[in-house]
Structure 1
Amino acid sequence: MATKTNSGRFFEDYAVGDVLNHPVPRTVKMGERALYHMLYPARHALHSSDQFAQSCGLPFSPLDDLVAFHVVFGKTVPDVSLNAVANLGYAEGRWLRSVWPGDTLRSVSEVIGVKQNSNGKTGVVYVRTTGMNQHDENVLEYVRWVMVRKRDADAPAPDPVVPDLAKVVAPTDLVVPDGLDFTNYDFALAGEPHRWGDYEIGEQIDHVDGVTIEEAEHMMATRLWQNTAKVHFDINARPDGSRLIYGGHVISMARALSFNGLANAQMIVGLNAGAHANPCLSGDTVYAWSEVLDKAETAAPGVGALRLRLVATKGHTPSDLRDEDGRYRSEVLLDLDYWALIPV
């Protein structure tokens, strides 16, 4: 009997140089914003108010930067991570254009690395993904690497290829949206008075608030972003019978929590590194803190950039995130390194 269904790719199905054109394009509108703000306590003013965005030189309010990330990422799942054990990390991410209500997004990935694990049952696949709009303009690019199951443990291991990835996106490579101007920035409407010059390298900010992750909201999120990875849906896909919370759900939750202390870090423009350190499950309460890693000027009027380390934890965790063996402590969920734009 002919098989028309897709069981997803396994590790031995990838080869360096493969180009994956991901179905299905998706048009995003104001519904995505409303649902995003329902799922996460997102309050950054530039993504909440057309009037505020217009006072900052934009035609109206763009969709949240992580809406673009989730949609582009979700397109890749059937071809990259349907049979994944875990999403391991990110690098070289850049937001290249704002996404506006009515834009249609699609994704393309290139396999840039493969390496079988020592157990012979899984391997790591590295892909560079590009998200494009209806005008074939690139809106987002990033590298991620994923641990994927093998279909046949006896299949020969490919020659390992591990890409040499930049540790950080250079400030000169960050793209500031056309027209963005923070010289008339309204700090009162944004919610906090803190500007670029008020933050010091090495400073840590406890974002105070916590949110308990619920099964229902996670299922809504994975469906919204069309993320079909089995570990998020099927309790038979994990040995403990639990459904793994989508890592992007934790990213958005932590980013939203960071508003308390970083309300003026309005736009994400670079993703330097990231690790989903431990699984997040329904019932976990997520807290977050940030560390200022670097600061940079931009050519845009009144606009500076902060390099921030965003850490999400189950409960409050000390700043020492690793144990004596160098492994992440079990409370650590997310360790993300990104660039954000903020008024000077």
Structure 2
Amino acid sequence: MQKTNSGHFFEDYKIGQVIAHAVPRTVGEGERALYHALYPARHALYSSDEFARDCGLPESPIDDLAAFHVVFGKTVPDVSLNAVANLGYAEGRWLQPVFAGDTLRSVSEVIGLKQNSNGKTGVVWVRTRGINQVGKAVLDYVRWVMVRKRDVDAPAPETVVPDLKQVLSVDDLVIPEGLDFSDYDFNLAGEPHRWGDYEIGETIDHVDGVTIEEAEHMIATRLWQNTAKVHFDLTFRPEGRLIYGGHVISMARALSFNGLANAQMIVGLNGGAHANPCFSGLTIKAWSEVLDKQPTSAPGVGAIRLRLVATKGGDPFELRGEDGKYNKDVLLDLDYWALMPV
């Protein structure tokens, strides 16, 4: 009897298949400390219990992207262990904050399949939910992954491409219970810029850069229990261990503090693409574009839609070439909603 897990291949997936992922993970205060050691993360709501209480929360939550990485990491052995690449995200929603002491597990449903023309790989779409210890969903999102076939002669499944929202509306967003920015302390937050100070179409160069180190990436990927072979095994990708895309997302988000210090909570993920591979030694820089702004019903809270772009250099604000393809310096193109004091 086979005892080891070689992961799922493309022909193993079926539409409607539900996968309950191992292993549940209890997050603690150390999660925050290690996250802030790996990334220059300084958003006040995730740094101070007192600041969070002044904003109506019981204590400082675990960083929204740290919660995402924990939920994502659970899915890797079943969804992307044999992936060639993680292709994109959609319809991501943070449904409630994650606090130290919460235990998270992940469940995914296969919602789309499409074999590629080469017959060697296919694209798998899954909708994943992160669930806490009392059975409440804290996060859900869709991602699609290019996965190898075990047997190139295995018949192609019927093509099903899910119809996904291009953009979440503000009504789709879930604002944490009790969140109130009426008495928000801009001095402690680090910048004076509020929701009303940003204009749709405005672009922001976040100025700073961080060089990706191999050791930090390995620590981060293990922290999230991400077992994808391309991140660890040089025989799988001889040109270098591929940096986990979530590592790039967190680094770019942390860099965006300079100019967006008050974009406190990520509550929606409209879409995202890892445009080019990232390897250790590259220096990540970031810029943002304001795509939309919407009021919310929460006191003092506005929603701002942002495009976050991580690059490995080159001129900021240049996303695509004349051919419509991403410029070679672009690593990440992420479209998300955040909450900001008005």
TM-score by length of 1: 0.98
Distance 1:279 1:120 in 2: 23
Distance 1:65 1:78 in 2: 22
Q: Is the 8 A contact 2:205 2:316 kept in 1?
A: no
- CA shift at 1:229, angstroms? 0.2
- CA shift at 1:173, angstroms? 1.2
* 1:301 corresponds to: 299
**AA paired with 1:75?**
K
CA offsets 1:101-129 (integer angstroms, 9 cap, x no match):
00000000000000001111110000000
Kindly report which structure 2 residues correspond to 1:9-24, keeping only aligned pairs within 5 A, or say none. 9-24=8-23
Q: Is the 8 A contact 2:275 2:326 kept in 1?
A: yes
Q: Is the 8 A contact 1:287 1:316 kept in 2?
A: no
Kindly report which structure 2 residues correspond to 1:1-344, keeping only aligned pairs within 5 A, or say none. 2-238=1-237, 240-344=238-342
**AA paired with 1:121?**
K
Percentage identity across paired residues of the two chains: 79
Q: List alignment gaps of at least 5 residues for structure 2.
A: none
- CA shift at 1:291, angstroms? 0.2
Distance 2:274 2:315 in 1: 16
CA offsets 1:254-297 (integer angstroms, 9 cap, x no match):
00000000000000000000000000000000000000000011
Distance 2:323 2:10 in 1: 29
Distance 1:46 1:324 in 2: 40
Equivalent position SS for 2:269: strand
CA offsets 1:12-55 (integer angstroms, 9 cap, x no match):
00011000000000000001000000000000000000111111
**AA paired with 2:337?**
W
- CA shift at 1:322, angstroms? 1.6
- CA shift at 1:155, angstroms? 1.0
Distance 1:317 1:34 in 2: 33
Distance 2:122 2:321 in 1: 26
**AA paired with 1:119?**
N
Distance 2:204 2:109 in 1: 37
Q: Is the 8 A contact 2:208 2:255 kept in 1?
A: yes
Deviating more after overlay: 152-161 vs 132-141: 152-161
Size of the alignment, in residue pairs? Answer: 342
Distance 2:280 2:152 in 1: 32
Structure 1 residue runs of 4 or more that deviate by more than 4 Å after TM superposition: none
- CA shift at 1:319, angstroms? 2.1
Q: Is the 8 A contact 2:267 2:337 kept in 1?
A: yes
Equivalent position SS for 2:25: strand
**AA paired with 2:245?**
G
CA offsets 1:50-106 (integer angstroms, 9 cap, x no match):
111111111110110011100000000000000000000000000001000000000
Equivalent position SS for 1:237: coil
Q: List alignment gaps of at least 5 residues for structure 1.
A: none
What root-mean-square deviation, in Å, do the aligned CA atoms of Structure 1 and Structure 2 show? 0.7
